């Protein structure tokens, strides 16, 4: 069983976990657009590939899959998830399974307004959002919403270009300097992260790990502590199955006055996944089982509470080619 990890970047732990799980049964191969992507050097083998926007990119990945007899492929960056899902049939034709959700769901995860509309229609607590700033101003005048609010690109990831606005003047300045923005209610509560695995054979939620976020850095969880709440587990399971996700997903949630609000979904391994793995939730094993045709059994909440994760910096040293 061979697996291909695309856009490995700095996710060294993810590559290491796959190597540990696949040891003796398969090879872990990684790609990146740069030789300075440190995670590729933790794989059994790596390829330097063009950016995902380059002409012929998907054909290059398909060639790697054929050459290396890849059984499963996944990406660690949001924009590539839709690309993989869109070409799922081409991968299947060369014997490779795309580990992830459908094209429509990957697109909805990128489009924050589309996600908001889905959550609102289906009755989930979520942050109220506006694309039309004039409509937002009317909501402020009517007392439906108060400052501060977040102003962000309606389509994007990794907390890029997000600003907190405390007044109308700031909103106006932000909209004047950048297009395709949305305004989102500021949720003032405990931020929670959930790593979830939905079995790719049975379609059932088989693993849920939740953590309270203590500190964030560059859009990723820097410090967190594990916890359990059966009510939250039930909400996550209902939501995930109603939407129809598959494989690994990462959900951002807020707890406000005892109520849970769903914020965003990333249909991939999140930056805080090492916390999940180190607490005993080996989603790499769940992926390997699925690639071997084995449906996983439910193990929701199979971890200890009160386990802290604290990220810290590490370095990779490697001799380069002399120019």
Contact indicator for 87, 60 with CB cutoff of 8 Å: no
CA distance 240 to 234: 10
Phi and psi at residue 194, to the nearest 5°: -130, 125
* 128-185: CATH topology: Dna Ligase; domain 1 (3.30.1490)
Q: List the pLDDT tens digit at each of the 323 positions of the chain.
A: 999 999 999 999 999 999 999 999 999 999 999 999 999 999 999 999 999 999 999 999 999 999 999 999 999 999 999 999 999 999 999 999 999 999 999 999 999 999 999 999 999 999 999 999 999 999 999 999 999 999 999 886 655 678 999 999 999 999 998 888 999 999 999 999 999 999 999 999 999 999 999 987 766 788 999 999 999 999 999 999 999 999 999 999 999 999 999 999 999 999 999 999 999 999 999 999 999 999 999 999 999 999 999 988 888 888 876 54
CA distance 244 to 208: 16
Q: With 0-12 CB in 10 A as exposed, 13-18 as middle and 19+ as buried, what is 171?
A: buried
Task: Please determine whether the domains at 3-99 and 128-185 fall in the same fold group of CATH.
Answer: no
CA distance 318 to 123: 52
Which one of 3.40.50.740, 3.40.960.10, 3.40.50.20, 3.30.1370.100 gives the CATH number of domain 3-99?
Answer: 3.40.50.20
**DSSP-assigned letter for residue 295:** P
CATH no. of 189-310? 3.30.470.20
pTM exceeds 0.75: yes
CA distance 303 to 195: 12
The CA-atom distances, in angstroms, between 187 and each of 132, 181, 192 are 20, 18, 12
Domain segments of the chain: what residues? 3-99, 128-185, 189-310
CA distance 225 to 215: 10
């Amino acid at each position: 069983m061979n697996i291909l990890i695309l856009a490995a970047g700095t996710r060294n732990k993810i590559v290491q976990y796959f190597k540990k799980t696949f040891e003796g049964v398969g090879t872990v191969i990684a790609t990146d657009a740069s030789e300075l992507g440190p995670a590729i050097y933790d794989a059994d083998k790596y390829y330097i590939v063009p950016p995902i926007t380059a002409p012929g990119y998907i054909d290059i990945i398909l060639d790697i899959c054929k050459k290396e007899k890849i059984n499963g492929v996944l990406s660690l960056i949001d924009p590539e998830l839709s690309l993989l899902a869109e070409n799922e049939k081409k991968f299947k034709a060369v014997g490779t399974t795309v580990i992830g959700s459908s094209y429509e769901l990957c697109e909805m995860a990128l489009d924050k307004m589309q996600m908001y509309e889905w959550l609102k229609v289906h009755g989930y607590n979520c942050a109220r959002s506006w694309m039309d700033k004039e409509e937002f101003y009317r909501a402020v005048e009517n007392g439906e919403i108060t400052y501060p609010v977040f102003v962000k690109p309606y389509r994007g990831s990794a907390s890029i270009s997000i600003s907190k606005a405390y007044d109308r003047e700031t909103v106006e300045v932000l909209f004047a300097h950048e297009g395709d923005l949305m305004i989102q209610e500021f949720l003032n509560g405990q931020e929670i992260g959930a790593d979830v695995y939905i079995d790719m054979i049975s379609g059932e939620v088989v693993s849920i790990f939740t953590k309270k976020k203590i500190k964030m850095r560059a859009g990723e969880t820097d410090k967190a502590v594990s916890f359990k709440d059966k009510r939250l587990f039930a909400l996550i399971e209902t939501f995930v199955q109603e939407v129809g996700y598959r494989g690994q997903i990462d959900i951002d949630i807020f707890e406000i006055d005892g109520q849970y609000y769903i914020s965003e979904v990333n249909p991939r391994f999140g930056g805080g996944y090492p916390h999940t793995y180190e607490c005993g939730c080996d989603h790499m094993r769940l992926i390997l089982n699925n690639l071997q045709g084995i449906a996983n059994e439910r193990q929701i909440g199979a971890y200890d509470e009160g386990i802290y994760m604290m990220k810290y910096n590490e370095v990779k040293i490697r001799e380069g080619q002399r120019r």
